Structure 1
Amino acid sequence: MLSEGQRIAGQYTVERYLGRGAFAEVYRVRHRFLGRQAMKVFKHVGSRAAAEELLEEAVLLSRIGHPNIVRVFDAGIAETPGGRSAFFTMEYVPAGNLEQYWAARGDRFTRIGEAVDLLIQICDGLAVAHGERPPIVHRDLTPQNVLVGFDDDGRPRVRVSDFGLAKRTDAFTGLASARGTLAFKSPEALRYRKGDSPAGDVWAVGAIAYLLLTDTLPFHDDSSPVAFFGVPRDAPPPSPQIRNPEVDDELARTVLHALEPNPARRAADAAELARLLRGWRNPETRQ
């Protein structure tokens, strides 16, 4: 949609293309005063009202600011070769997403503590959204939607991004309509198509945890029609200890708790899962 060197909204120069999703493309840009940022440009163009509706993600992100949620700087409407497009700019995280970061690290079975630290940060960011009233659910949490950069002291810092499918839950039912990536969707969301909730986001974190600890997804049959309706997910997956003996009993229980098929018996939200993970990381804090 954009080309290198192109000027956008009079303030941004496109440096390079970074990637694309179902609804938007992302570019690295440079603001004339503020330096390097990432710009998300929506593919679907139309009326100004329609373009402004697409910027709801930027509004959500600006409201739930947190060190573990990607920061939004600006939003607007730009003319592209395809017509009018909505865009917003956010912090540029050069290390890439969680999938890329973890693959580059190597020796995965010796870094359980680091995996848990990253998972806690994911939960801390989500907990802010889940703490809204009514809660905001992400609905599409995957390793590709978790950015990993570094603080000044060299420690990795997570930023949860791509809240494009995020939606406030119904104040009475606590649910939002189900969307997102099948491999990281909870059983209730797949079965009923209206099962997204904070507990559904917890299930996605559990799937990410299982992947980080075992290099394997908890369920492999997401392409089958049966799996789409969640039938194979009526029982928990095999313990992560089977695939990685470095995982101890306590951590295995926590991950399987996040992947509990019955949402009523699962951690209710990201704050609860963060507490359990911190209890494993720092045993003296366990209650």
Structure 2
Amino acid sequence: MFKFLALRARSIREEGNIKEIAITHHVKEGHEKADPSQFELLKVLGQGSFGKVFLVKKISGSDARQLYAMKVLKKATLKVRDRVRTKMERDILVEVNHPFIVKLHYAFQTEGKLYLILDFLRGGDLFTRLSKEVMFTEDDVKFYLAELALALDHLHSLGIIYRDLKPENILLDEEGHIKLTDFGLSKESIDHEKKAYSFCGTVEYMAPEVVNRRGHTQSADWWSFGVLMFEMLTGTLPFQGKDRKETMTMILKAKLGMPQFLSPEAQSLLRMLFKRNPANRLGAGPDGVEEIKRHPFFSKIDWNKLYRREIHPPFKPATGRPEDTFYFDPEFTAKTPKDSPGIPPSANAHQLFRGFSFVAIASDDESQSMQTVGVHSIVQQLHRNSIQFTDGYEVKEDIGVGSYSICKRCIHKASNMEYAVKIIDKSKRDPTEEIEILLRYGQHPNIITLKDVYDDGKYVYVVTELMKGGELLDKILRQKFFSEREASAVLFTITKTVEYLHAQGVVHRDLKPSNILYVDESGNPESIRICDFGFAKQLRAENGLLMTPCYTANFVAPEVLKRQGYDAACDIWSLGVLLYTMLTGYTPFANGPDDTPEEILARIGSGKFSLSGGYWNTVSDTAKDLVSKMLHVDPHQRLTAAQVLSHPWIVHCDQLPQYQLNRQDAPHLVKASRYLFIFFCLAIITLKRRIKNLKTYM
């Protein structure tokens, strides 16, 4: 049933001569030979002297609406060497099929141009991340190197030397896994000793045997592997002189300066990779990559799980809709995508590219999984918008005011749809973390959805869906009838969302009533949204603890007050306060609007609150048990989100009382407690003096 169209020809450069071997034909049913008319140009991703790389969308065939990266090269501008390299890249990409190597889907040519249709990887390249973070943790490096080792081993098993290993050629997909790309300098070994002799690659990453041109094997890739490891761990290159010549001399002769802050295992691996005699280099022996996999540096890596992509990457790129290009150079993405006609090349150039066309074999799983791309948001490219916020939106009344921002209702002029816009003063707060979290996780049904982002230099405009149903507690406390069963359903929805965030390494840190809202007037738990991620943080410390306390009085965990490191248990504390308030109509630590910040903080720090008498007489024992465990003063003994969800009060929701809770009819007490945060900020300097004797964990 399958026909596969692949016109394959392998060009090999031997002493400057080009040799072609036989072309084979296969046709795969359901696929057709591609041409430029089948692809819609969306954006420019990159540009060089030989051509461009576009983001494109397939507009016909079984993979219609699928996004790809289209590499377009002009034949006339390619020198003979570059023509060979382009043909070699195409041939190698046809041959390889690996989870950590970019996939070639189509290859075709016109009279003047060559086209390679590749995976579009939204996460950008590893160099972009490295340039932002300077250097990575050893755990990050282990992950990237382990995936890279498997990719290199696959190439080596096919007799291919990669020869151009550097951060720019390692791309990240939307989940954070690597994909090795750019095979223009790769080489299939051609002499009887399986050596290549070309002087190519980026000089800082070259192995000594490449520099001295005495012939190199696949072992050269393991030297470059070591250079990449050193750079990721330290933020610097191991051998870099003031010019190309000095750099080459250092590679051949200089002693490696080993940073002592690296672990013994990391130092050991680097020393074994930086062997100037390629025969002594780790990975060059008969066991190949197995030597590297057995090294203690990778002792915690489960290689089978890694290959199956079952290990979570340490970094997930912030991506919104499928065609967003946040991690690509705005110098290119701001350009209008245009594929200009190519000048016809010489006749011998056309002969060289016989057999260039190719259609990839798609597995059954891939064929079945191809779906139309849904556009869930209209996120613009941050910091590089060509239009102003007011060009697209009409600003209406204020919705809320915060310390660093103001929230207003707005109307999208083109669609007449209502949204909310959070206007953040960049001089007071960096909104990058908040925007990244919304980009990554805003598609969750109970997290506010990001629609647009604008940056005018002074302010950032974050456009989200409008919460027409108002604040959670306002709605609940105004209900004349509210039962434990309803409270359980509400807490389940919120905690389930928090559990999702915690599993992604995100803590909200400001789960106060005003940040939990309804998207509509239905009052259904499904319409609840967690909003305002201004204080949210993505966990990165090795011990899992956060080091930057933020405060919202009355919903703050006691360990925050003592300026200790704190983790996701803070969010559970805040949810415990929320549950307490839903059940009784008042908060556990604020007795009235006249309470001072000092009084509230003292009560929070003591961890003492009442679960008996008064309004608690009508509350079930299982509800009281859950409240007490969520508000435990010791974060290590406090329930996790998963444990809250498995508590009987949540699991057996259908067995809970349906009669009306006897709550205090005083929602002003809850509202007043929110505004105490303002006074708390003013009093913080005084309070700092009182906790000087406490040991800080920073």
- TM bin, normalised by shorter chain, reads 0.7 to 0.9
Cross-structure match for 1:70: 448
Identify the residue that residue 266 of structure 1 maps to in structure 2: 638
The aligned counterpart of 1:275 is 646
Matched residue, 2:570: 200
Give the Å deviation of 1:190: 1.3
Look up the SS of the partner of 2:518 in the other structure: strand
Match of 2:619 among 242, 247, 258: 247
For the pair 1:21 / 2:408, whether they are aligned, the reply is no
> Counterpart of 2:422 in structure 1: which amino acid?
K
Among 466, 474, 491, the residue aligned to 1:92: 466
Q: Deviations over 1:180-216 (max 9, x none)?
A: 312011111112x234311110000000110111112
- The one-letter amino acid of 1:217's match is T
The residue number in structure 2 matching 1:180 is 551
Q: Secondary structure at the match of 1:244?
A: helix
Query: Do the aligned partners of 1:13 and 1:30 also contact (CA within 8 Å) in 2?
Result: yes
| CA distance in structure 1 between the partners assigned to 2:414 and 2:612 by the alignment | 48
Deviation of 1:227 after TM superposition, in Å, equals 5.0
SS in 2 for 1:59: helix
User: In structure 1, what is the equivalent of residue 419 of structure 2?
Assistant: 37
> Deviation at 1:274?
2.5
What SS is found at the alignment partner of 2:550? coil
Alignment check: 8 A CA contact 1:236 1:256 kept:
no
CA contact (8 A) 1:241 1:248 kept: no
Change (3 A) 1:77 1:204: same
- Tell me if the contact between 1:210 and 1:240 (Cα under 8 Å) persists in the aligned partners: no
TM-score (norm 2): 0.35
CA contact (8 A) 1:239 1:252 kept: yes
Look up the match of 1:118. Answer: 490
2:477 matched to which residue of 1?
A: 103
**1:146-190: per-residue Cα shift (whole Å, max 9, x none)?**
012348x76242101111000123432322122131201111111
4+ runs deviating over 4 angstroms: none
- Distance in 2 (CA, whole Å) between partners of 1:162 and 1:280 is 31
1:63 is matched by which residue type in structure 2? R
For residues 207 and 241 of structure 1, do their structure 2 counterparts lie closer, same or farther at Cα, with a shift above 3 Å needed? farther
Q: Does 1:189 align with 2:570?
A: no
| 1:33-68: CA deviation from partner (whole Å, max 9, x where unpaired) | 3411110001x245xxx98x4243122012113111
Secondary structure of 2:569's counterpart equals helix
Deviation at residue 69 of structure 1 after TM alignment = 0.9
Using CA pairs under 8 Å that are at least 6 residues apart, name the structure with larger relative contact order, 1 or 2.
1
Contact 2:517 2:530 in 1 (8 A): yes
Provide the rounded CA distance (Å) in 2 between the counterparts of 1:27 and 1:63: 24
Alpha-carbon distance between aligned partners in 2 of 1:66 and 1:215, rounded to the nearest angstrom: 29
Matched, 1:209 2:579: yes
What residue in structure 1 maps to residue 519 of structure 2? 149
Shift of 1:232: 5.2
Say if 1:238 and 1:154 are closer, same or farther in 2 by CA, change over 3 A: closer
Distance 1:85 1:256, change over 3 A: same
How big is the shift at 1:253? 0.3
Are the aligned partners of 2:418 and 2:466 in contact in 1 as well (CA < 8 Å)? Answer: yes
CA separation in 2, counterparts of 1:173 and 1:70? 29
Aligned residues: 261
Q: Deviations over 1:49-97 (max 9, x none)?
A: x98x424312201211311111111111147xxxx21111111011111
1:161 aligns with 2:531: yes
**Structure 2: runs of 5 or more not aligned:** 1-387, 657-698
Post-superposition offset of 1:242: 4.7
How far has the Cα of 1:261 moved from its partner?
0.9
Q: Is the Cα–Cα contact under 8 Å of residues 11 and 31 in structure 1 kept in the other structure? A: yes
Whether contact under 8 Å (2:553, 2:597) holds in the other structure is: no
Aligned equivalents of 1:117 and 1:33: distance in 2? 38
Give the C-alpha shift of residue 224 in structure 1. 4.7
Sequence identity percentage:
26
> Is the Cα–Cα contact under 8 Å of residues 236 and 260 in structure 1 kept in the other structure?
no
* TM-score normalised to structure 1 length: 0.81
Residue 112 of structure 1 aligns to which amino acid in structure 2?
E
